[in-house]
Chains A and B, each alone.
Chain A
Amino acid sequence: MPVDSGWTLTEDDRQLFITEADEMVQALEEGALALERGNQSPEMLQAMFRAAHTLKGNSGLVGEAGIAEHMHKMEAVLDELRAGRIAVTPALVQQLLSGIDALRDMLAQFAQGQSPSPPVQSPEQPQAAPQAPAPSKPAAPVAPAAPAASAACLSRYLVELSVDAACPMPAVRVFQAYQAISRRGQIERQDPPQESLAQFEGRSATLVVRLERPDDVQAALSGVDEIRVESVREQSMAAASAASQAQANEVEREALAQTVRVRVDLLDHLMNLVGELVLDRTKVADLISRLERAKDEQGEELRQELSRSSLHLGRVTLDLQETIMKARMLPIDHLFRRFPRLVRDLAQRSGKRARLEIYGQDTELDRMVMDELGDPLTHILRNAVDHGIEPPAERLAAGKPEEGRILLRASTEEGYVVVDVADDGDGIDAEAVKRIALKRGVLTPEQAERMSMHEAEELIFAPGFSTSEEVTEISGRGVGLDAVRASLERLSGVVDVATERGKGTTFRLRIPLTLAIMRALLVRTGTAVYALPLGAVRQIVRLGPGNLRSAHGRPLLADRGEMIALHSLAGLYGEPVPDGEQFAVVVGTGDRQIALKVGALLGEQEIVLKSFGDFLGAVPGFTGATILGNGELALVADIRYFLRGREAP
């Protein structure tokens, strides 16, 4: 029930509460899953307790007494746990997880502006609050272990370190510094975090550490070369009360990550502005080229001026564009962190054992892209557990560890983010895939004969290939993988599969870092200009008797022994086919391609993709439109539409 907390709450406050609550839920869930695996450490229990405690305090401030009550009970259980008064049992973990689910529901309701109804599995019932002692005072002080108690007496310092520019291995120096400092005090937070040090190439590190004296930092680092203490600042000691504890955490987090939270709609607006700027730049460039053709003596001065400002505009735009892109980027952890729970639940349901290992969670990705990536990844992970990983007995018989391993790894590669999902299961049986494809009519016997192993494996992406019974039969995968491929193509990305019988299967997703600005090939056909996304353009050829063929009255393009279906671009859009189309652009994704006849090639350009908006909705065959430098409108072609075999527009 919302009660008047005495605080006025703006929309921003609500957003902040929700964002932070999500982080707490995440911390609790990670903790619960770690407990289940038997990884129990005092620090972790402490972190879980702190999360529950902070969320309790925050809920009180937004007037959500229901959530606060729920958290109070969870906190009581965690308090018992960290004091060692109750033990971790599977039932307890399950109950914690149910409690977390209930919390998530309550938060979702709050986010939608409803007052959360009491959870289905009320924390008052033993399900969610097992063996909880009668609600005692919040955060009953317990002093189980001496280090924790004595650490509390030490002052907390924010320490900034820098590594010499000449140091070839900054990660090692930073690690040595962590090691040396931890011998003298207790490190509470560190940036870069230890787990991601191996990829660290930065020159600065920040720590929050509890120490007796600030000089301890300098003393600790005397034995570490190439590292310098930039500053040691004492943090406020007001961290005693719950509210200020939360605040202090916030301050530290801000100091460590140097991040701010920005609303997505604001970012979108900024992105639109940048889009306008990019158009301006293109327009100026266009003006210059027209002026140059004018050959006017008086135009010389004007020309030079324009040229200078165009250069400047270009620099500014580029900078602005890159900055905004960065602001839209989030660590992919935001997406990944829900998957350990998913894999755990799926494995449990199917009577298997599976562990998800995550790497590269710091990899950054446009948040819009990230949102779109959630479903396909969930799909692939589900397949990995359901059909990739074998049942425990089968694994043991094959000489593998009972627990299956699924690897989720993100990395960047020249403007792309690469996400691998690799399992160590049984792999895909290419022959079985072929049999099923034949049975379902996806494939003719002749095609099956000629097909390579890899091509056969690729069949799992074919629309209409799989149903769940067949997937079980081949102990492979396939449920809705055509949908996965379609989602990836919507993101201008690709998905590939590599598999080895008995060893496992790896799905590799390649997604562009951002969607809003892309490079395109501009072509003119008839009176209209079309933009073809450059990522899909395979080659451009001039048409002539040497490469024009036909079969059954259908025109074909002969290309190095291959025959590619040739269509007029205008014709595909239902426009009259103009005369004199002398070029063909071959476009494709995966193993499908088509040749498009066009009238003229206008060159490559960076375009800002605009959707048609609500009044037009989705227009088949187009992903949107863009405005060119000369003010002309170009329609951005949806390559998938051509490849799919065209339904009548």
Chain B
Amino acid sequence: MAKILVVDDAMFMRSRLRGLLEGAGHEVDEATNGSEAVQRYVELQPDLVLMDVTMPEMDGLEALKKIRASTPTARVIMCSALGQQSIVLEAIKAGAKDFIVKPFRPEKVLEAVGRQIPQ
């Protein structure tokens, strides 16, 4: 079981991911934009972050960089949409561990999470 921070501005997306991850036995917390994510990360010190790319306030790439700057070991998986390949590439260069592409299938999410959190 791991502590996972789900960051997405869409409530629907957050609740789907929460249901899926809690169903797999993880503890889930949420943030609705990049700057909130940076703040929650410090308070919570989660094992893993699922980070949306496009968000208001601060986008996912920016938040990723801030989090990695304060915690170089932070594990972040980017949740992107089709057509964002160059942003995702930049995110990986900036230290994101992996990515998933919306619309994602539940098993894809769990696989990606599983690769970062060995059971």
Contacts and interface: CB of A to CB of B under 8 A. Distances in A.
A169 B85 contact: yes
B116 to A, nearest CB: 8
A175 B82 contact: no
Nearest to B108: A225
A168 interface: yes
A444 interface: no
A509 B16 CA distance: 50
Interface in B29-54: none
Interface in A151-197: 168-169, 171-172, 175-176, 179, 197
B92 A179 contact: yes
A176 B98 CA distance: 8
B16 to A, nearest CB: 19
Interface in A487-532: none
B74 interface: no
Q: Main SS of chain A's interface residues?
A: helix
A169 B112 contact: no
Given A169-B85, A176-B98, A198-B86, A223 B115 contact: yes
B79 to A, nearest CB: 12
A604 B92 CA distance: 50
A198 B85 contact: yes
A180 to B, nearest CB: 11
A167 to B, nearest CB: 9
Max chain A C-beta neighbours (<10 A), residue from B85, B88, B111: B85
Contacts of B85: 168-169, 171-172, 198
Contacts of B11: none
Contacts of A198: 85-86, 89
A453 to B, nearest CB: 34
A169 B115 contact: no
Interface string B90-116: 001100001101000000000110010
Contacts of A175: 89, 92-93
Contacts of A172: 85, 88-89, 92, 99
Contact of B101 (A168, A176, A197, A223): A168
A134 to B, nearest CB: 46
Interface residues of A, number: 11
Contacts of B99: 169, 172
A384 B102 CA distance: 44
Contacts of B80: 169
B31 to A, nearest CB: 24
Contacts of A171: 85-86, 89
B75 to A, nearest CB: 11
Contacts, number: 34
Contacts of B98: 176, 223, 225
Contacts of B101: 168-169
B54 to A, nearest CB: 15
A529 to B, nearest CB: 48
B115 A225 contact: yes
Interface string B62-90: 00000000000000000010101110110
A241 B1 CA distance: 56
B88 A225 contact: no
Contacts of A225: 98, 111-112, 115
Interface residues of B, number: 15
B80 to A, nearest CB: 8
A169 B80 CA distance: 10
Contacts of A176: 92, 98
B83 to A, nearest CB: 9
A176 B96 CA distance: 10
A230 to B, nearest CB: 21
Nearest to B93: A175
A176 B116 CA distance: 14
A197 B89 contact: yes
Interface string A453-465: 0000000000000
Contacts of B92: 172, 175-176, 179
Nearest to B97: A223
Interface in A183-215: 197-198
A223 B80 CA distance: 19
Interface string A218-246: 00000101000000000000000000000
Interface in A292-312: none
A225 B86 CA distance: 18
Contacts of B88: 169, 172
Contacts of B84: 169
B89 A168 contact: no
Nearest to B91: A172
Max chain A C-beta neighbours (<10 A), residue from B84, B89, B101, B115: B89
A198 B88 CA distance: 10
Contacts of B82: 168
A533 B86 CA distance: 39
A280 to B, nearest CB: 44
Max chain B C-beta neighbours (<10 A), residue from A168, A171, A176, A225: A168
A171 B112 CA distance: 18
A197 B89 CA distance: 9
Nearest to A222: B115
Contacts of A169: 80, 84-85, 88-89, 99, 101
Contacts of B112: 225
The 9 closest A-B pairs by CB, nearest first: A169-B85, A168-B101, A198-B86, A172-B88, A172-B89, A171-B85, A168-B82, A223-B115, A171-B89
19 contacts: A168-B82, A168-B85, A169-B80, A169-B85, A169-B89, A169-B99, A171-B86, A171-B89, A172-B85, A172-B88, A172-B99, A175-B89, A175-B92, A175-B93, A176-B98, A179-B92, A198-B89, A225-B112, A225-B115
Given A172-B99, A197-B89, 11 more contacts: A169-B85, A169-B89, A169-B99, A171-B86, A172-B88, A176-B92, A179-B92, A198-B89, A223-B115, A225-B112, A225-B115
